[in-house]
């Protein structure tokens, strides 16, 4: 029911207002730190649109954000709010790295890349499978277990790039450069933008189509809207919930695959996740959980990232500002959605979930 409002003009206006307000508050922060907001804004725009490289960087940063936002939409529709995306990105990227380093050298290029990408999705899906299994079989709350698994994944990747997968030179905590044949070819030369951009429209169309046009999507939404009704209709909320968690993990794993198999770094380090896992949630919220809305929302956050980086380098404003803006966007989206809810009780547009939230199994 909660997707009824997504995509209406009012919805769009609200999201735009929230984005504008968040940027306005960010400008206040800049002003408070003693830098002219005009100068900072100029540096920001230069950082986003200033040239080929900047445009390429912004588009490249959109890719993982879109994939994670879709992952959130899938699991949110089924009312399973796991937040394990950072961990699933890390484990997915790690699996892609292993394939690209150990298996790809003996394979033709046409097999190596798809295999590495699929390994990422499988890794993310399996890691999310732990959350799903603990929830379905042990009744352990999926939010808590996924948060803990994020923290564990951080240590796993830290160990891998210092232990089994460390570069042969053995000095830096990173892997050897990944095999050329398993890496996405560059789309825009001399920029981080690679051909993994094609996964974005494919994933969006697939998720939008499955959610709105297939039985599977209907079951997902049915469980998300009303678990009792779903049970009476013969749909198992547990089975649907498990699938939703695993599929969303696979999407996050795909984001991890993109992060290691494309971009400007040839080797995998332990910091490639770079906060995309939580930012992707903010993207989905700003998009009001609409698969199509994630594109402009992801663009905004990608711009904050790249533009923020340039702003830090040229006028000395801390890049943590983009993180604040993300937090502001999340809180303001929640407030605006709730205000809308209070304004018109009849229309169910609560951004929250149904009241059966904590009843595990």
Using CB under 8 A, list all residues that contact another protein: 29, 33, 81, 83, 134, 138-141, 143-145, 147-149, 151-152, 155-156, 158-159, 162-163, 278, 281-282, 285, 316, 318, 320-328, 330-331, 334-335, 337-339, 341-342, 350-353, 355, 357-361
User: What residue spans of the chain are helical by DSSP H?
Assistant: 9-32, 37-49, 52-77, 85-98, 109-138, 142-160, 199-213, 215-225, 227-232, 237-261, 276-286, 294-315, 320-343
Which one, 30 or 178, has the nearer CB to another protein? 30
Shortest CB 148 distance to another protein, Å: 5
* Cβ 19 vs Cβ 300: under 8 Å: yes
Query: Which is it for the CA torsion 280, 67, 97, 309, positive or negative?
Result: negative
Which one, 266 or 339, has the nearer CB to another protein? 339
The rounded distance, in Å, linking the Cα atoms of 269 and 260 is 9
Which one, 205 or 339, has the nearer CB to another protein? 339
Which one, 134 or 220, has the nearer CB to another protein? 134
Shortest CB 190 distance to another protein, Å: 30
Shortest CB 211 distance to another protein, Å: 19
- DSSP label of 184: P
Residues β-bridged to residue 63: none
- How would DSSP label each residue in 312-335? HHHH---THHHHHHHHHHHHHHHH
Shortest CB 230 distance to another protein, Å: 19
Helix (H, G, I), strand (E, B) or coil at 127: helix
Which one, 258 or 322, has the nearer CB to another protein? 322
Tokens of 317: 């404003």
Shortest CB 274 distance to another protein, Å: 13
- Which bin fits 274, alpha (ψ -120 to 50), beta or left (φ > 0)? left
The number of angstroms, rounded, from the C-alpha of 213 to the middle of its chain's C-alpha atoms is 23
Q: Tokens 């892997």 map to which residue?
A: 175
Shortest CB 355 distance to another protein, Å: 5
The rounded distance, in Å, linking the Cα atoms of 319 and 308 is 5
Q: Tokens 């277990």 map to which residue?
A: 145
Shortest CB 142 distance to another protein, Å: 10
Shortest CB 166 distance to another protein, Å: 12
Which one, 16 or 151, has the nearer CB to another protein? 151
The number of angstroms, rounded, from the C-alpha of 263 to the middle of its chain's C-alpha atoms is 16
* Cβ 260 vs Cβ 272: under 8 Å: yes
Which one, 199 or 221, has the nearer CB to another protein? 221
Shortest CB 285 distance to another protein, Å: 7
Which one, 238 or 357, has the nearer CB to another protein? 357
Angle at 64 (CA atoms; ends 46, 285), nearest 5 degrees: 90
Which one, 100 or 333, has the nearer CB to another protein? 333
């Amino acid at each position: 029911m909660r997707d009824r409002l997504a995509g209406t003009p009012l919805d769009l206006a609200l999201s735009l207002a929230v984005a504008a307000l968040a940027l306005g508050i960010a400008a206040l922060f800049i002003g408070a730190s003693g830098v002219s907001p005009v100068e900072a804004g100029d540096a920001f725009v230069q950082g986003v649109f200033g040239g080929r490289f900047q445009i390429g960087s912004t588009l490249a940063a959109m890719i993982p954000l879109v994939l994670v936002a879709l992952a959130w939409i899938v699991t949110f529709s089924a009312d399973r709010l796991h937040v394990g995306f950072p961990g699933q990105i890390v484990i997915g990227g790690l699996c892609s790295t292993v394939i690209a380093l150990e298996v790809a050298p003996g394979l033709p290029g046409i097999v190596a890349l798809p295999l590495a990408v699929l390994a990422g999705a499988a890794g993310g899906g399996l890691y999310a499978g732990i959350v799903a299994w603990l929830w379905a079989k042990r009744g352990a709350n999926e939010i808590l277990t996924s948060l803990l698994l994020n923290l564990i994944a951080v240590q796993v990747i830290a160990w891998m790039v210092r232990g089994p997968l460390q570069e042969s030179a053995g000095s830096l905590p990173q892997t050897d450069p990944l095999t050329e044949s398993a890496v996405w070819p560059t789309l825009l030369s001399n920029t981080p933008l690679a051909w993994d951009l094609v996964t974005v429209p494919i994933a969006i169309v697939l998720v939008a189509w499955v959610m709105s046009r297939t039985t599977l999507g209907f079951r997902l939404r049915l469980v998300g809207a009303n678990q009792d009704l779903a049970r009476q209709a013969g749909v198992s909320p547990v089975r649907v919930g498990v699938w939703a968690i695993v599929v969303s993990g696979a999407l996050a794993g795909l984001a991890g695959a993109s992060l290691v198999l494309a971009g400007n770094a040839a080797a995998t380090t332990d910091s490639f996740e770079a906060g995309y896992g939580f930012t992707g949630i903010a993207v989905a919220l700003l998009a009001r959980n609409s698969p199509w809305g994630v594109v402009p929302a992801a663009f905004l956050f990608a711009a904050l990232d790249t533009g923020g980086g340039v702003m830090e380098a040229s006028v000395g404003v801390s890049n943590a500002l983009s993180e604040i803006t993300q937090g502001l966007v999340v809180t303001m989206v929640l407030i605006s959605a709730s205000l809308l809810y209070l304004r018109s009780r009849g229309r169910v547009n609560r951004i929250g979930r149904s009241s059966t939230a904590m009843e595990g199994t």
